[in-house]
Amino acid sequence: MATSPPLLCLTVTTLLVIFNQCIAGVNTASTIPPKIGKGYRLISIEESPDGGLVGHLQVKQKNSIYGPDIPLLQLYVKHETEDRLRVHITDAEKQRWEVPYNLLPREQPPPLKQSIGRLRKNPVAESEYSSSELIFSYKSDPFGFAVKRKSSGETLFDSSSDGSDPYGDLVFKDQYLEISTKLPKEASLYGLGENTQPHGIKLYPNDPYTLYTTDVSAINLNTDLYGSHPVYMDLRNVGGQASAHAVLLLNSNGMDVVYRGDSLTYKVIGGVFDFYFFAGPSPLAVVDQYTALIGRPAPMPYWALGFHQCRWGYHNLSVVEDVVENYKKAKIPLDVIWNDDDHMDFHKDFTLNPISYPREKLLAFLDKIHSQGMKYIVLIDPGISVNSTYGVYQRGIANDVFIKYEGKPYLAQVWPGAVNFPDYLNPKTVDWWVDEIKRFHELVPVNGLWIDMNEASNFCSGLCTIPKGKQCPTGTGPGWICCLDCKNITTSRWDDPPYKINASGLQVPIGFKTIATSAVHYNGVLEYDAHSLYGFSETIATHIALQGLEGKRPFILTRSTFVGSGHYAAHWTGDNKATWDDLKYSISTMLNFGIFGVPMVGSDICGFYPAPTEELCNRWIELGAFYPFSRDHANFYSPRQELYQWESVAESARNALGMRYKLLPYLYTLNYEAHMSGAPIARPLFFSFPNLAEFYGLSTQFLLGSSVMVSPVLEEGKSEVKVLFPPGTWYSLFDMTQAIVSKESHYLTLDAPLHVINVHLYQNTILPMQQGGLISKEARTTPFSLIVTFPAGANEGEAKGNLYLDDDELPEMKLGNGYSSYVDFYSSVSDGTVKMWSDVEESKFALENGWTIERVTVLGLEGFGGKFALEVDGIPVVDTSKVEISATEQKFPQELEDGGDKKKSMMVDITGLELPVGKKFKMSWKLRSSG
């Protein structure tokens, strides 16, 4: 849903505030401020009972820039695992705000002022503390610490500074914390979101990186957006050998991160320094270690990997029914139909508009689509309408669930007008929210929930009251115009902190168009501290509610995210624009969220507003069909853009979504791998080719899993695409007789007429596919085929792949419960023989569902001979008369045929198989050289 005007609108007052700050010399993220103070000295250090280190730091020279220094700090260092190091720095005498341990479970640091044995009053100037992978070392005066990789001695993080550095030593004040690290210039950094990065997936020196959850349209570049993810991955390449590590600063307060190319500085307006270092050394290992801490990605139901259709502006139920019917007529796959807030009664959560969406007719519609396997999802916003006749509000007031300001529920305005915001840090609020979702599900049996506006978004700023004698909202004009009577709150240091982060890219006050930062949550927690956790806490409460309904696997789509959100929900990238630039930006944002541990992510296909051109919508569905989360979504004020609105777009959709639905078993297996190890579904190419530096900034192509490469057209008027191919053999998934062979990375220009997207499968892979269909429930019942890829012209080689199957209604995604099966596939070419076999874990579920493999296609063989043999569960299959084997010579682009040493390569197709997926099989045949 659009939540603000197409571009960020600022009041004249706000602009004057910014102007006056500039005149007064208040620094912004883009200027270099003077160094602040002389840092701290380490005055004691001792081993803690849990095997870590606890020390104390004393400020060297006090100053009042951004407030007084905290005089004494507690340092806690621990190797929590072999590849994860924690460095925690806080006030030694007073408890400070931290991300709540019940929201993000993790080890607790030692309590303050605990007896830690005899303190070394004069700690050695430098000392080291190591695990098997990482070494922590420190200097005591001024205090600085470094983290090194044990295997190579390479410094990963170094907080010490000298006079020539553009940053100073450690600063720790109540509302301003600063720490920096040196970086080698060749380091490639990724992360620090959420923002729309115009330069691609690599962080770009001197771009602003501000982290503070904000309802700012995603069309705004280099601006703090809906989520806060203070983590970066650092990829380095020394002599052609890559190593990756990651650094998380677990802190929910607003911050600017200044990246200069050879250094990085955090400027944080509260909380503590709670650093986690992840050793890698591969990008996949980094994400594995990161999600082991923050929570593994949520398992998605199978249908969630199908195609979704939504629009803000489906005015009544008959429009929704027509959309579903038109998708069927156009033979375009569709699994899920969505409602924005159109189904609501005057925009109120958990209600139905009795005229536009009468309950009896809606229930009949849902019965119909549910019987076909389709699903229905609706939107809810956190703002609860202040309305004495509204049961949700009445029960909220009775249970005292709302965020307070001076003892009263804080008043804001969103779509229904005046609202209060639930305080999800309060256990009573969670109980109330769970109950409201249960009540709503009894009213409408939705299959998932879409939680929007949860940054939190507010159409007003400051302290507001409901105006007397006038209607608010008026019911005419844009719904986002503030109509409450409001006054600015600038009296407290929470609303007007001494350091101004670069909020909204314009250094607006941090309470601008959100909850006032001096408002109070449960147990006296300030919105100032908890602001960026709001959407995360709502996501957790919603997950608890959905999981408790019918014991089914929840599906939640959330706009605002924080560290750990992927453990509960999927994400879409917010209000994008129907432009070619936004089409391109969507890839970088998607890839970043995979690194953040939120693999189920996608952008509004065809753009949220304004109207896309027909050509753009063609290209966008070709790309969007391969987003992990694939949904077309449009603005209330835009013309209709369902994929059947243009015949040319419908054709592109049938092609691209047709392939997606064939790939559903692969995508679902990637979903399982993500849940088990954090592995992103969509990945940058450097995840599979980390030693090749030419891929470190590549933001126009991506991988699904380790082996499927998607190379979309991203420019207007183009009928070809320039693709960077890593070394090896790549086979076109749409025409497997076509192959690209590359000894070294090189660009190749491929044909890409309007309805074509280039998707390639890498060598040494076994890819499970099914026959597709118009809905995932049907596609899931079709026979399997296996695509086996060897390097072109292979007479030696190995390939492998896997397949995960389960009852996707179950909350847990795991083996061993009797409702799941896992199959490993292997193939080899050696000594003139091709072999293929499977290994099955938990065969029962696959056998009960009757899945079979009917086809095996092997790509890249040097030739084909005879003597085909097959056995199932160790028993030879004597009668193979139904099995047909054919061979086709593969083709290569002309410009590579002239290399002179290209081998002949065959595609061998084996059909007529009836192999039960749940049984182990072996097959073999002779390879006959055609030379």
| Cα–Cα distance measured from residue 19 to residue 25, given in angstroms and rounded to the nearest whole number | 10
Helix axes 664-677, 283-294, angle to 10 degrees: 60
Longest distance between any two alpha carbons in the chain, whole Å = 92
Tell me: the pLDDT tens digits for 239-293?
999 999 999 999 999 999 999 999 999 999 999 999 999 999 999 999 999 999 9
Domain that holds residue 188: 39-294
Query: Do 104 and 247 sit in the same domain of this protein?
Result: yes
The pTM (predicted TM-score) of the whole model is 0.95
Q: Residue 744: is its pLDDT beyond 60?
A: yes
Last residue of a domain, one of 294, 319, 343: 294
Query: Does any domain span residue 155?
Result: yes
**pLDDT (tens digit, 9 = 90+) per residue, 586-597?**
999 999 999 999
For residue 735, being part of any structural domain is answered with yes
Of 630, 652, 671, the position where a domain reaches its end is: 671
Side-chain half-sphere of 421: how many Cα atoms within 13 Å? 30
d(CA 14, CA 34): 26
Please give the tally of structural domains in the chain. 3
Amino acid sitting at position 450: W
Whether residue 259 is found in the same domain as residue 324: no
Residue 615 confidence class, pLDDT cut points 50, 70, 90: very high
Q: What is the mean pLDDT of residues 729-735?
A: 97
Co-location of 730 and 617 in the same domain: no
Q: Which two tokens stand for residue 840?
A: 């099955």
Q: Mind listing the pLDDT tens digit for each residue in 882-908?
A: 999 999 999 997 555 444 456 789 999
Q: Average pLDDT of 742-759?
A: 96
Q: Give me the residues paired with residue 413 across strands.
A: 418
Check if the beta carbon of residue 305 is closer than 8 Å to that of residue 667: yes
Indicate the residue type of 900: G
**Could you tell me if 171 and 225 lie in one domain?**
yes
On whether the CB atoms of residues 158 and 150 are closer than 8 A, the answer is: no
Cis bond before residue 6 (omega within 30° of 0): no
743 and 795 housed in the same domain = yes
Residue 23, pLDDT score: 33
In this structure, is residue 13 part of a structural domain?
no
Q: Which of 340, 349, 436, 455 does the annotation list as catalytic? A: 455
Residues 326 and 226 both lie in one domain = no
CATH number, residue 831? 2.60.40.1180
My answer on whether 453 and 515 are in the same domain is yes
| Neighbour order of strands in the sheet with 375-380 | 601-602, 570-572, 556-558, 448-451, 375-380, 336-339, 307-309, 630-632, 604-605
What's the rounded mean pLDDT across residues 291-310? 98
What element of type H or E holds 670?
Answer: helix 664-677
Residue 422: DSSP 8-state = B
Token digits of residue 786: 């296996």
| Res 923: pLDDT | 97
Closest CA to 197 of 228, 235, 224, 233: 224
919 C-beta neighbours (distance < 10 Å), count: 18
Q: Which of 452, 527, 529, 806 is catalytic?
A: 452
Q: How confident is the model at residue 865 (pLDDT cuts 50, 70, 90)?
A: confident
Q: Give the domain CATH number at 67.
A: 2.60.40.1760
Of 634, 654, 671, which marks where a domain is finished?
671
Element spanning 589, H or E? helix 580-595
Give the pLDDT confidence of 390-440 residue by residue, as tens digits: 999 999 999 999 999 999 999 999 999 999 999 999 999 999 999 999 999
Active site residue: 423, 538, 575, 909, which one?
Answer: 575
Q: Across residues 139-143, what is the average pLDDT?
A: 96
Sheet holding 833-841, edge to edge: 875-876, 869-872, 921-926, 833-841, 820-830, 797-806, 765-769, 784-794, 852-861, 906-916, 884-889
CATH number for the domain that contains residue 450: 3.20.20.80
User: Do residues 316 and 257 share a domain?
Assistant: no
> Is residue 1 included in any domain, yes or no?
no
**pLDDT at residue 123, rounded to an integer:** 61
User: Is 318 contained in some domain?
Assistant: yes
The 3-state DSSP class for residue 327 equals helix
The answer to whether position 82 is within a domain reads: yes
Residues 276 and 309 grouped into a single domain: no
Asked if residue 501 is part of any domain, the answer here is no
* Residue 604 is among the residues annotated as catalytic for this protein: no
Q: What one-character DSSP code corresponds to residue 640?
A: P
Q: In terms of domains, do 203 and 325 share one?
A: no
Residue 5 has pLDDT above 50, yes or no: no
**Residue 899: exposed, middle, or buried by beta-carbon count in 10 A (0-12, 13-18, 19+)?**
exposed
Q: Strand 134-140 relative to strand 336-339: parallel, antiparallel, unpaired? A: unpaired
Q: What is the CA radius of gyration of the chain?
A: 29
Contact by Cβ (8 Å): 267, 502: no
Q: Is residue 54 domain-resident?
A: yes
Active site residue 898: no
Query: Is 575 annotated in the active site?
Result: yes
Task: Report whether pLDDT(691) > 90.
Answer: yes
The candidate with the shortest Cα–Cα distance to 196, out of 232, 234, 233, 227, is 227
pLDDT at residue 761 is higher than 90: yes
Confidence bin at 927 (pLDDT 50/70/90): confident
Q: 858 and 801 share a domain?
A: yes
User: pLDDT confidence of 122, banded at 50, 70, 90?
Assistant: low
Q: In the structure encoding, which two tokens stand for residue 231, read together?
A: 């983590």
Amino acid found at 240: G
pLDDT bucket at 26, cuts 50 / 70 / 90: very low
How much is the pLDDT for 904? 87
* Residue 263 and residue 350 in one domain: no
Tell me how far the alpha carbon of residue 538 is from its chain's centroid. 17
